[in-house]
Structure 1
Amino acid sequence: MKLHTHEWGTGDRLALLVHGIMSDHRTWRRVGPALAERGYRVIAVDLRGHGASPRGDGAEPGEKYGARLFAQDLVDTLPTGAELAIGHSLGGLTLLGAVDRLRPARAVYSDPAWQFAKAEGVDPRLFVEFKNGTREQITAMNPRWEEADIDVELATLAAWDSDTALGLWANAEDSGLPAAPAVPSLVQLADRSFLVDDTDAGLLRDRGFEVRTVAGAGHTVHRDDFDGFMASLEGWI
């Protein structure tokens, strides 16, 4: 599937951005321009079922959405050989499934949902219910977000197909920690990440990933602490 994309900058280096569940390219409203200022042409996708991209085909959520389908869409849409690729949460899971074919020079996985099916307290029905989340709920859950990020969250929820969550869990066998990085890779973690615990972080280091934690940041690191997010990428961008 060809995905909707949004671009910032005209630099000689190429960066790819892949958002998390319930979101779309607008989540990168500060990251895209910041990378463009550093000499990148930045391409951000809307994953299938998100933003302006097509919905999946099929009678059941598991036929329309799943990690392998998300990854194949990246391959169908994005150029190979970029200097940098960043995936957040579901975007980290999706990038992992495509990285061996996209072959960026460097990959950054921001609090990746590699083991979403095992995360304590995470249920696809919660995502479906949050489709109708209010400004007050979003603000209470994300007290460090700027008002513009609340606006973006409301807009991206309205454009999101909640079957993506159900489809992911229907294909949960596609989740798990990677055995090794396909390209030089940074795993950037929220403080006390609920997706990658200390044991998993140690395993990833042993397997060849660099792992950094952004102190005090929540799951959506780039919106919770933009400056901390960018500082954590030192040496990778």
Structure 2
Amino acid sequence: MQLNTHTWGEGDRVALLIHGIMADHRTWRKVGPALAGRGYRVIAVDLRGHGASGRGEYSAELFADDLVETLPAGAELAIGHSLGGLSLSLAAERLRPARAVYSDPAWHVNSQEQQLSPELFAQFKAVDRATVTGLNPRWEDEDVDIELATLRLWDENSALGLAPMFGSDMAPEKAVVPSLVQFADASFLYDAAEAARLEARGFTVRTVKGAGHTIHRDDFDGFMASLDGWI
């Protein structure tokens, strides 16, 4: 599926941005311009079922296939958050960016310990402003506005289609390109043992202190600082 995209900048270098579940390209409202200011032409997608992209069947593999169909191979940089990180990892060998950044990637969702389920994610379609603000107290008002707007467009069936990944280990066996894994301090997706396992597989691992799952919205400055040497 050809995905809807949004572009910032006209630089010679290309950067790719891939959002997480329930979001769309607008989640990168600060990151896109910041990278454009560093000389990148930044391309952000709306994953299938999100934003202005098409709807259809949903699986981790299809999300990855759409990236390959839509985005240019050989970009200087690719950043994927959460589901976007999982999708990027499944597409990395075909997209072959010079550098990949996985921001709190959804590689290992322990549904029993964390009481998470596809159905729980789907219920977020109906959350109100107070709930979004309460779950994300560090977000700026504009990010709350965007979250509510993207939820209205989001097809919640995309969460149900990801049921096989809950309780599964989707972490790559190796880093196929130079790769940074950026973890949130309050991440529900990793622990110290997981960080050590990824380092043994060739990934660089950094933690953004104090940040929640959506690092680039919780602490934009911390997010950008964590990318030192990678952008």
Tell whether the structures are fold-level matches, with TM greater than 0.5.
yes
Kindly provide the amino acid, as one letter, of the partner of residue 204 in structure 1: L
The aligned counterpart of 1:226 is 220
Q: Do the aligned residues in 2 keep the contact of 1:10 with 1:41 (CA within 8 Å)?
A: yes
Q: Do the aligned residues in 2 keep the contact of 1:68 with 1:97 (CA within 8 Å)?
A: yes
Q: Deviating runs (4+, > 3 A) in structure 1?
A: 170-175
- 1:74 equivalent to 2:70? Answer no
Q: Do the aligned residues in 2 keep the contact of 1:117 with 1:169 (CA within 8 Å)?
A: no
Kindly provide the amino acid, as one letter, of the partner of residue 54 in structure 1: G
The aligned counterpart of 2:13 is 13
**For residues 193 and 110 of structure 2, what CA distance do their matches in structure 1 show?**
17
> How much has 1:171 moved relative to structure 2?
5.7
The aligned counterpart of 1:39 is 39
> How much has 1:174 moved relative to structure 2?
7.2
- 1:179 equivalent to 2:173? Answer yes
**For residues 167 and 97 of structure 2, what CA distance do their matches in structure 1 show?**
26
Higher mean C-alpha deviation, range 127-136 or range 45-54? 127-136
**For residues 55 and 171 of structure 1, what CA distance do their matches in structure 2 show?**
20
The aligned counterpart of 1:99 is 92
**For residues 142 and 166 of structure 2, what CA distance do their matches in structure 1 show?**
33
Counterpart secondary structure, 2:91: helix
Q: Which runs of 5+ in 1 are unaligned?
A: 57-63
> How much has 1:117 moved relative to structure 2?
5.3
Q: Deviations over 1:156-213 (max 9, x none)?
A: 0001000011000146587522110010000000003211221111000111100000
Q: Do the aligned residues in 2 keep the contact of 1:19 with 1:47 (CA within 8 Å)?
A: yes
Counterpart secondary structure, 1:131: helix
**For residues 230 and 164 of structure 2, what CA distance do their matches in structure 1 show?**
34
The aligned counterpart of 2:105 is 112
> How much has 1:124 moved relative to structure 2?
1.2
Q: Which runs of 5+ in 2 are unaligned?
A: none
TM-score, normalized by length of structure 1?
0.94
Identity of aligned residues (%): 67
The aligned counterpart of 1:3 is 3
The aligned counterpart of 1:59 is none
**For residues 167 and 134 of structure 2, what CA distance do their matches in structure 1 show?**
33
**Cα RMSD after superposing both structures:** 1.3
Alignment CA distance shift 1:156-1:115 (3 Å) = same
Kindly provide the amino acid, as one letter, of the partner of residue 27 in structure 1: T
Q: Do the aligned residues in 2 keep the contact of 1:16 with 1:42 (CA within 8 Å)?
A: yes
Higher mean C-alpha deviation, range 169-178 or range 79-88? 169-178
**For residues 170 and 162 of structure 1, what CA distance do their matches in structure 2 show?**
16
Kindly provide the amino acid, as one letter, of the partner of residue 97 in structure 1: L
Higher mean C-alpha deviation, range 187-196 or range 8-17? 187-196
Counterpart secondary structure, 1:14: strand
Q: Do the aligned residues in 1 keep the contact of 2:187 with 2:213 (CA within 8 Å)?
A: yes
Q: Deviations over 1:5-58 (max 9, x none)?
A: 0000000100000000000000000000000000000000000000000001xx
TM-score, normalized by length of structure 2?
0.97
